[in-house]
Structure 1
Amino acid sequence: MKTSILIIGSNGFLATSLISMLRQKAEYEIFTLSRHPASDIKTKHFVAEALDEKSLRDIVLTVKPKIIVNFIGASTSTEALVELTRINTGVILNLVSILGIKNLSETRIITMGSAAEYGGCSGKLISEEEPARPVSAYGISKLAQTAIAKQFNESLGSRIDVVRPFNLIGANSPESLISQKICRKVLALESSENLYLDDAEMERDFVDIDDFTKGLLNLIETECLPGVFNVCSGKAVSLRSLAEAFMIAGGKSGKVLQSPQSKFRSPVRRAVGDSTKMSGATGWVVSKTLQQAASEQIKTAASFF
């Protein structure tokens, strides 16, 4: 019998990457849900608003999924923290309510958290046990989702995993990612033109989208205690180094420099994760180098430039 899996927020970057990998495995029956029709007719797709409890309940009771993966989330909002929290906690609250009332307690939920929940931690790798000190409304709202998941795991015996991706890089990256913003700047340069960055020495942890998705799939296929899982490379990369990788990939000979006009400095100077828990639980390891990921990203971005 196939394992039924419901992907909520299925039209997004992370979700489409997971769906692509799931299709390569015959043991899954894939159901998808989003507010818009699916461009891919190969999935059994529902058009609905997952933040509406009744709409989501009807779909869950129809599918009776063994696994639910939630990608619904927002990173910006005109109403700031209140609206972000409503969006980033709403689906989990609805799911717990549905599964509890309808006796579907064996259904496993995996939801997307964020490295922004940690804030920053200079000088060391950030493990899942690191105290969370988010500095943005987005990080606070994602941390609220994690708190809800932990509470229901402890009080009701729910099976909710929170996956915290660090900064993503790789083919088909969306414009919202810092890697894609830098990639687009590189593509716009003349061959020997210099690239200026607002905060060149800020350090982040970049993980390729394919590596991230393999880690997520490993977690789906692993029976383990529910909890929070970092998906990261464990390597500190300055924005200067990231841009230099894109410059090499794009065949640009200019230098990457700090903009002398910019006064912007991120309050989080360094955010680098520790993936020991994820690797130990699932066997996941990073396989792509930063340069490989940058080359793939600039290739796909150039085709639309």
Structure 2
Amino acid sequence: MSNPVPASTASAVRSVLVTGHGGFSGLHCVEFLAGLSPRPRIVGLGRAADRTGLVDAEYVGPIADRDLLLRALRDAQPEVVIHLAGALPPAPAAELWADNVGGAFHLLDAVQLCCPAARVLVVGSAAEYGPTGRQAVDERHASQPVSEYGRSKLAQTLLCQSLSAERGLCVVVARAFNLFGPGMAANTVVGAACSQLAAGTPLDALRLGRLDSFRDFLDIRDAVALYWQLALRGEPGAVYNVCSGRARQVGDVIDVLLGLHGALPGRDQARARFVSSDDVDYSCGDPGKLAALLGGLALRDFEVSLRETLDSFGAFVPASERMLAGAMASA
């Protein structure tokens, strides 16, 4: 199989195509790529336009638009493709399957036509595993997804592995766990907490969903850096967990956020939303395969990442400043 990118260096990468470049992960991926030296040309493709000002060329539209996709690939002539585009809950099932499975097929089919030697990194999801019991799972663990999203992402992974083997494409799958960070949406528990705290929502009115479950949280900035390494060095057809390897109870994470915001821990006052039947109690990945490939993992401090995420919502006020403001108000 052709591999134009030496595993030890990114200097051979002159051009990168990023799908979903205007989304949460895409924004951070583009910023990461723009900080590389030498800096590759960055071409974006997706429904949302660039928000960074760092994309060199962009093609705005759905990945199912074959003409648009072919134009983007022919323009970019990328050595690396990073596929972030896709549908997320609560999108309807038809959209999840069309965007996640259909989108991956459209992309890889076009890559074979335009740039068959490119290395392609496709982002999967921990939802592919389904219930795992209280253990950190590695990539050999059986996948039994219980959500429509998880099923669509598992089908995406299987498609990528099949096309990688059958068509001689270099496709690597990054199975990402719970990502968070500055600029995230409010439709996840961390984003919902930050958004409501920024809006001044009283503790007894916070709506945060299930607090007793455990999740493996990873800063999006760590994730995109790992995506890049996998794009360069991952084994074709292989799946790699992109995770921290540590399970954190959601309620404990909320307590940290409340403390950073200057509020006393008060998760018991938060109202739980309806919990869907496809929610799992425990989700944690084993990053051993990834760490072995890279020679170890160096991740950001979790509390610092939470602080920066909260700050991005305009919600972070240092406790010392809150105390000073309170003292001045009562003087």
Matches within 5 A, 1:201-240: 201-222=212-233, 224-240=235-251
TM-score by length of 2: 0.82
Give yes or no for the alignment of 1:7 onto 2:5. Answer: no
Query: Superposition pairs for residues 211-290 of structure 1, below 5 Å?
Result: 211-222=222-233, 224-257=235-268, 264=275, 267-283=279-295, 285-290=297-302
Going from structure 1 to structure 2, the CA distance change for 1:59 and 1:254 (only over 3 Å counts) comes to closer
Q: How far did 1:128 drift? A: 1.2
The answer for the alignment partner of 1:85 in structure 2 is 97
In the alignment, what sits opposite 1:145? 156
- 1: CA distance between counterparts of 2:156 and 2:135? 25
What TM-score, normalized by structure 1, do the two folds share?
0.89
Indicate the larger mover: 221-230 or 51-60: 221-230
Structure 2 match to 1:95: 107
Length, aligned pairs only: 302
5+ residue gaps, structure 1, are none
Q: For residue 47 of structure 1, what is the aligned residue in structure 2? A: 60
Taking the aligned partners of 1:53 and 1:154, their CA distance within structure 2 comes to: 23
Distance 1:154 1:200, change over 3 A: same
Which residue type is aligned with residue 272 of structure 1?
C
Deviation at 1:153, TM superposition (A): 1.7
Deviation at 1:76, TM superposition (A): 3.0
CA–CA distance in 2 between the matches of 1:193 and 1:263?
A: 16
**Cα gap change, 1:152 to 1:246, in 2 (>3 Å):** same
Kindly state the Cα deviation for residue 284 of structure 1 after the two structures are TM-superposed.
5.1
Q: Is the 8 A contact 2:192 2:208 kept in 1?
A: no
Out of 181, 204, 211, the residue aligned to residue 170 of structure 1 is 181
Determine if contact 1:194/1:256 at 8 Å carries over to the other structure. Answer: no
Partners of 1:261 and 1:211 in 2: CA distance: 30
Query: Which residue pairs with 1:71 in the alignment?
Result: 84
Once the two structures are TM-superposed, the CA of residue 197 in structure 1 deviates from its matched residue by 5.1
**Counterpart contact for 1:218–1:284, Cα < 8 Å:** no
- Cα RMSD of the aligned pairs, angstroms, is 2.6
Quote how far apart the aligned CAs of 1:247 are.
1.0
Aligned partner letter, 1:243: I
Q: In 2, distance between residues paired with 1:14 and 1:160?
A: 19
Identity of aligned residues (%): 25
Q: 2-side partners of 1:125 and 1:288: how far apart?
A: 20
Moved more, 206-215 or 236-245: 206-215
